[in-house]
């Protein structure tokens, strides 16, 4: 990895911050130590205190709930155990798409934790353009949500055009008749639901279905 000369963001000793370093590689054949070493050097140049260096070996598209390292980062952030998350690049942090990625970054902000990309210093909540960066990432996430919605709508329209029935399957007349018969036997909707293996609300719907 190419060495990057650090730009000092905080020059005053009073501005020292607690930092957690996060590194990720995709396969066991790769080594995150190069990332960690350079990130530690960068943190030292800023006068930051490194409280932990956390790594994952997995695809960047893996959800945080399935990544031990990123999961730990979010837990520590929730516990206010550090002030800044430092990572190599945004795609090393997450490749789940802008919507999910901005969600993780927003969580960090809500926990009072800033974040900074080593190789993309413009992607940071520490500089003068932090508000603009956050607004840009939010706009990208919104566009991704719209695209997902459009793809979902198009998929439903294709299914409908191909003759597929959408929505909840119709209940068979026999099942409705059975529910009505049980009700006629003076059973409660709870008891009917227990007999048919459905909820009390669903039992009521079956009994009153035309």
Distance of CA 134 to the CA centre of its chain: 16
Q: Active site includes 117? A: no
Type and span of the H or E element at 106: helix 98-110
Q: Is 174 exposed, middle or buried (0-12, 13-18, 19+ CB in 10 A)?
A: exposed
Give the whole-angstrom CA distance, residue 124 versus residue 116.
4
Is residue 118 within 8 A of residue 72, CB to CB? The reply is no
CA distances from 97 to 21, 105, 130, 166, 171 (A): 21, 12, 20, 28, 39
Tell me which residue has tokens 């020059």. 11
**Tokens linked to 124:** 């940071």
Candidate list 12, 14, 26, 59, residue with the active-site label = 26
CA distances from 60 to 36, 94, 96, 137, 185 (A): 17, 5, 7, 18, 59
**Residues assigned a catalytic role:** 26
């Amino acid at each position: 990895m190419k060495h990057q000369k650090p730009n000092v963001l905080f020059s005053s000793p009073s501005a020292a911050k607690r930092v957690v370093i996060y590194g990720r590689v995709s396969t066991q054949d790769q080594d995150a130590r190069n990332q960690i070493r350079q990130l530690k050097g960068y943190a030292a140049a800023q006068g930051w205190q490194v409280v932990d260096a956390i790594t994952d070996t997995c695809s960047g598209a893996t959800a945080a709930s399935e990544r031990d390292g990123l999961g730990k980062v979010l837990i520590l952030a929730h516990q206010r155990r550090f002030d800044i998350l430092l990572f190599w690049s945004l795609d090393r942090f997450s490749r789940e798409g802008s919507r999910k990625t901005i969600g993780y970054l927003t969580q960090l902000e809500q926990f009072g934790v800033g974040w900074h990309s080593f190789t993309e210093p413009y992607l940071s909540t520490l500089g003068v353009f932090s508000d603009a960066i956050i607004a840009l990432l939010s706009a990208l996430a919104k566009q991704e949500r719209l695209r997902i919605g459009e793809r979902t709508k198009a998929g439903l329209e294709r299914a409908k055009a191909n003759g597929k029935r959408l929505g909840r399957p119709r209940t068979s007349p026999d099942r409705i008749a059975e529910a009505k018969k049980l009700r006629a036997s003076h059973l409660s909707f709870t008891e009917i639901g227990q007999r048919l293996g459905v909820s009390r609300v669903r039992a009521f719907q079956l009994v009153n279905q035309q």
